[in-house]
Structure 1
């Protein structure tokens, strides 16, 4: 199992090794990671964090001009970064890139913009993505630190949206659904069962991400164990006073985490 996972990691890191300029952070995500037998036509998705997007796109355009649309390649890296900042969510995506026998899609974002969105939920795109399981291929300690706050905020927001009693599965489904709330695509183009498929395919990774927080909330008296629908479940101890006790406890926990952050090295 571990050997297979290691081999999968090496395979996912292939484009970073053989195709693209160096990056400061990278994670892979998508259905190809969550499904045991992914669709052969599905793409592997990457988020690439770089210190200087203008410099990175300049080098990548020299290496891989066909990754960009023809008109964007002609306009150069300045137009690429302008489009990402002014039209997109700070991320520029190159989709449908052929690599070996696979297709990949990669989005490039400045490290400072990545850290800002993770902490503030300003765009709630990258932060929402990192609330769900991803495969980190190039780790960055500063991003790891700020994402700790992101996970705490996602768990806290989900507790406020959940009923008094809920299962572990309910919690992960609510966390997963946060970034899709208000997304009009979920009414039309997107799979309406997307959240269920993500949680079903990534339940153990969700546990690795959020069980430490669950144990923290239990020790702080915010949650307690219960039996609900014949399953191991949790009960919100302070559910009757959600806008006083529960919110205060959660905010205090978040503030303690923020105080311990030193984001001065994030560039």
Structure 2
């Protein structure tokens, strides 16, 4: 189990959520830096009951990106209209801009009567705000939510909470979206997911649908200690996977663009023109500071990646300089790369293995034995030190290795994203679903 450092008083979870989010609202970039990661924290299998059981009191604070305090309160006010929220975050261009302030101003706001804080933060209030809400018991949430907000649901809501929760959990990535919902005078889209589904995707990359969203800047509004640990694994996995796709030398923006692009590989919205083709570049360019806050300490914790110009990052305000695009490098040593392969999320790693099983013509029986051996090391109740074995070294040495990793990403993302998009026509209803598709296609035509 994780070493328990009880430097914080044990607080009820809801009290700690308030404390944790308040502590994130700091303007000093250096104060956002997390403590050095404790050794072997990845090799544990935590089951935490409160935040006092984290490796240290500041563990994962890099995830708590700052926004205007009034804007944060407005977002929380929206979430308080929903029952049984165990974890929640707001994301997308309505929360963190993906274009210049001058071009983001609009003449028409989608919000009927938003709080002043939202208008100010969005510089005119031109963007619908997206939320993900995680709950421990899916059917319980929908039962309570249908009683309060039946108008949020399409015709599926008339079939009851049991049917709604089955549609949510069995199809796509396990998320049930309700778009174009007016809450507190603000137009929102919210997705509901089971907490276990979220944790599994962050840890194993089952679909990368939720893990991919949390690899980019989001505003976390309600927290869970196990999700914080799982997301820290997710962020570190995103760095490792991106390094396996990148050459020995690259820039900061190339790294963050690769991370951002992971969850878009194979996404049908990108393939069929339902997203802005410059979306990845827009996200990275306009959120470079938040990417640094998310990833800098994780990057410096890895032994095989470094900044070329160490003097630049020694300056106290370097994270605020959006014009910087620092040069970086990685050690291409085979053993280090094999270790990164072994530490990839389990479901995703097995996809990479399977691609090479087919290439090498390994028998199904022998391949299953190899998987079982690796699963023993991932077994619940504790993880052994994950070091690359002979098979990891063999595939990491292949010339087509980066291509195979990219192919595994595509396979991970493609079908769940396609099924989730198809499901949205039923969960949103025909009218709202068609409206959402048209708006996405309009974005896809943007230059």
Give the structure-1-normalised TM-score: 0.85
Q: Which residue of 1 aligns with 2:43?
A: none
- Show structure 1 runs of 5+ residues with no match: none
Q: Report how far residue 252 of structure 1 moved.
A: 6.8
> Residue 34 in 1 paired to residue 96 in 2?
yes
SS at match of 1:64: helix
1:153 and 1:67, CA in 2 relative to 1: closer, same or farther beyond 3 A?
A: same
> Residue 52 in 1 paired to residue 134 in 2?
no
Q: Report how far residue 183 of structure 1 moved.
A: 1.5
Aligned to 2:253, which of 161, 169, 189?
Answer: 169
Larger-gyration structure (1/2): 2
Q: Report how far residue 199 of structure 1 moved.
A: 1.1
C-alpha offsets along residues 134-178 of structure 1, whole Å, 9 cap, x if unaligned? 100001111000111111111001011112211111111110000
Aligned to 2:306, which of 196, 200, 224?
Answer: 224
C-alpha offsets along residues 182-205 of structure 1, whole Å, 9 cap, x if unaligned? 113213111111111111222111
Q: Report how far residue 250 of structure 1 moved.
A: 2.8
Q: Which moved more, 1:108-117 or 1:3-12?
A: 3-12
Larger relative strand fraction: 1
Aligned to 1:235, which of 321, 329, 338?
Answer: 329
> Residue 206 in 1 paired to residue 291 in 2?
yes
1:236 and 1:129, CA in 2 relative to 1: closer, same or farther beyond 3 A?
A: same
Aligned partners of 2:92, 2:217: CA distance in 1, in Å?
9
Kept in 2, the 8 Å contact 1:149–1:254? The answer is: no
Give the structure-2-normalised TM-score: 0.52
- Show structure 2 runs of 5+ residues with no match: 1-24, 28-66, 111-126, 310-323, 346-376, 383-447
Aligned to 1:190, which of 275, 285, 306?
Answer: 275
Root-mean-square deviation (Å) = 2.5
Aligned to 1:106, which of 190, 195, 207?
Answer: 190
> Residue 5 in 1 paired to residue 95 in 2?
no
1:119 and 1:2, CA in 2 relative to 1: closer, same or farther beyond 3 A?
A: closer
Q: Which residue of 2 aligns with 1:43?
A: 128
Q: Which residue of 1 aligns with 2:208?
A: 124
Q: Which residue of 2 aligns with 1:140?
A: 224
Kept in 2, the 8 Å contact 1:49–1:111? The answer is: yes
Aligned partners of 1:231, 1:9: CA distance in 2, in Å?
30
Answer 1 or 2: higher relative contact order, Cα 8 Å, separation at least 6. 2
Kept in 1, the 8 Å contact 2:250–2:327? The answer is: yes
Q: Which residue of 2 aligns with 1:153?
A: 237
C-alpha offsets along residues 187-245 of structure 1, whole Å, 9 cap, x if unaligned? 3111111111111222111111110121112xx2x123326xx953111122xx4xx32
